[in-house]
Amino acid sequence: MRSAPTILHLDMDAFFAAVEQASKPSLRGKPVVVGGLGPRGVVATASYEARVHGVHSAMAMAHARRLCPNAAYLIPRFELYRQVSDVVMRLLGELSPLVEPLSLDEAFVDLEAGGIGDRPRAVAEKLRAEIRAATGLTASVGLAASKLLAKIASEEAKPDGLVVVDPGTERALLDPMPARTLPGVGPATAEHLRRAGLGTIAEVRHAGEAELVRLLGKAHGASLYAMAAGLDDRPVVAEREHKSISVEDTFDVDLTDRIRVRTELDRLADRCVKRLRGAGRSGRTVVIKVRRFDFSTLTRSETLRAPTDDPAVVRETAARLIEAVDTTGGVRLLGVGVSGLADFTQEDLFAQAAEAVAAEEAITGPAEAATPADEPAPTRRWLPGQDVRHAVHGAGWVQGSGVGRVTVRFEEPWSLVPGRVRTFPVEAPDLEPSDPLPLVRRSA
C-alpha cells in the first residue's frame, strides 16, 4: 500500500444523460433517460432527475417509462460521447503517463507516476474544474492509496464531488458499508453472506479469511477478505485493452426450468451489452458459459458476420447457443460474453436505430398505415434525440415522430434558452440528419 492517496479514480456523472442535457438546453434540469427504445430496450444511463423516480441503468426501458413517464427518452449518440470522452482522457493524460481507461467515462490515474504525488487534492480539484470548463460536465473523483479505495471513494463523492481516503483511514470508510459495495459481491454472494450474518464490510472482515474461504471457496473467499481489509496492490495499467467483455452470475439454487434459464441468459446479455457500450466497443463473437449441477463447465460460442453491440442480437445468439446445452440436471452458473472487440461501427448505430423504430411503431403503428393508399409510403425514420438540420431553422434534434410527422426542437448547446419546436412531414425535403454539434462553441 502507498503512503499517500496518489491513485485517482474519475467517474463522469450520469455521463450519457449529462451529455444530452448539456447539448439540449431544453432538457437541463429535467429527467433524461438514454438507452434502447425498443420493446426490450434497456436503460444505459439516467440523469439524476430521473433517478429520483427510481430509474437506473440496466433497468428495462418499459419499467423506466412507468416510473418516470415525463422523462425524455433518447437514443444513444456514441459519436458525441466518444468526442467528449477524448477531451476528458486528454486532460487525464496531462497528469500522468499511467492512465487506465475503464470505459468512455471512467478511468484510473497514477499521480505518483506523473510526479505530482505530493499534492493530490489540489490536482484533483483543478482537474474537475478543467473538465467542467472544457465540456460543461461534472465529474466525481476519489483519491486513495489503492484502486479499490479510489473507486469506492469516487462513488461516495457522487455527484460532482471529491473524496480523499488518507492512508490509515480505510477501515473507517469501509466498515459501515454493505458488503455489496465490494467488487465481485453480486446478489448470490451477498445472499450467502447474509445467511451467515455478514451484512457489512466490517462483519465480513471480522469473520476472518478461513471462514470466508469455507463459505465461498478459496479464491473468492481470500480475495473478499483482502478487500474487506482494504488491501489492494493492483497497479494502474496504461491503456488497458480488453480482449473480451463478459458477465456471469452464480445461483443459490440450481436452475432447472428452461424458461428461467432463458430469462437469466437474456438478463446477462443485456448487462454484457451495457458494459460493452460503456467501453465504447462492439464485438463479433458471442460466448455463453454454463456450469452445471455437477460443476462441469461448458462454453459455447458463435461468430457473427460483423461486430455488434445490439442487445437483441446478443440475446438471440445466446439463446441459440443454450439450446445445444443439456441443462436438465440443473445450472449453477450462467455467463454471457462478447469477444473479437472492435470500435463502434456504423452498423452498430443502425442496429440501435432499428430498435428505436420498432418502439415508435409499437406506439403509433407503422408510418405507412397513416398514409392514404394513393400516396407513396414514407420511408424516412426519425429517432428521439437524433441530430438534424433544417435549411431555414438550422440545427436541432428530434423530439418524436409518428403518423407521418416529425417534431423537432431547434436549439444549440450554447443557447441560453430552450429552442422553438416545429413539426414537419417525415419526408420534408429541407430536413436532414446531421452530425452532433460540440458541447462548447469553438472560438474562431
**pLDDT (average), residues 310-337:** 91
* pLDDT at site 202: 96
The residue range of the domain holding 191 is: 173-228
pLDDT above 70 for 267: yes
Do 125 and 256 belong together in one domain? no
Do 28 and 67 belong together in one domain? yes
Q: Give me the CATH number covering residue 258.
A: 3.30.1490.100
Answer yes or no: is 255 within a domain.
Answer: yes
List alpha helices for 41-176, DSSP H. 48-51, 61-67, 78-93, 120-135, 147-157, 170-174
Do 12 and 161 belong together in one domain? yes
Do 115 and 251 belong together in one domain? no
pLDDT above 50 for 370: no
| CA–CA dist 51, 395 (Å, integer) | 29
Yes or no: say if 359 and 39 are a contact pair by the CB < 8 Å rule.
yes
Answer yes or no: is 106 within a domain.
Answer: yes
pLDDT above 60 for 367: no
Q: Which residues are catalytic?
A: 106
- How many structural domains does the chain have? 4
pLDDT digits (tens, 9 = 90+) for 143-169: 999 999 999 999 999 999 999 999 999
Yes or no: say if 3 and 167 are a contact pair by the CB < 8 Å rule.
yes
∠ Cα 93 97 98 (to 5°): 100
Do 110 and 28 belong together in one domain? yes
- For residue 322, the SS3 value is helix
* pLDDT at site 239: 60
Do 284 and 139 belong together in one domain? no
Do 119 and 140 belong together in one domain? yes
Q: What's the pLDDT band for 442 if we cut at 50, 70, 90?
A: low
Do 122 and 37 belong together in one domain? yes
| CA–CA dist 222, 60 (Å, integer) | 35
Yes or no: say if 75 and 353 are a contact pair by the CB < 8 Å rule.
yes
* pLDDT at site 250: 82
Q: What's the pLDDT band for 252 if we cut at 50, 70, 90?
A: confident
| CA–CA dist 213, 210 (Å, integer) | 5
Last residue of a domain, one of 114, 131, 165: 165
Q: What's the pLDDT band for 404 if we cut at 50, 70, 90?
A: very high
Q: Give me the CATH number covering residue 426.
A: 2.40.10
Do 277 and 157 belong together in one domain? no
Do 140 and 211 belong together in one domain? no
Answer yes or no: is 110 within a domain.
Answer: yes
Q: Give me the CATH number covering residue 216.
A: 1.10.150.20
What is the CB neighbour count within 10 angstroms for residue 145?
A: 24
Last residue of a domain, one of 346, 381, 403: 346
Last residue of a domain, one of 119, 140, 165: 165
Do 206 and 292 belong together in one domain? no
* Mean residue pLDDT across the chain: 87
Answer yes or no: is 404 within a domain.
Answer: yes
| CA–CA dist 249, 247 (Å, integer) | 7
* pLDDT at site 2: 85
Dihedral sign from CA coordinates of 28, 357, 273, 180: positive
- For residue 204, the SS3 value is helix
Yes or no: say if 406 and 21 are a contact pair by the CB < 8 Å rule.
no
* pLDDT at site 203: 96
Burial of 252 (0-12, 13-18, 19+ CB in 10 A): exposed
Does the predicted TM-score (pTM) go above 0.75? no
Do 338 and 194 belong together in one domain? no
Answer yes or no: is 238 within a domain.
Answer: no
Answer yes or no: is 235 within a domain.
Answer: no
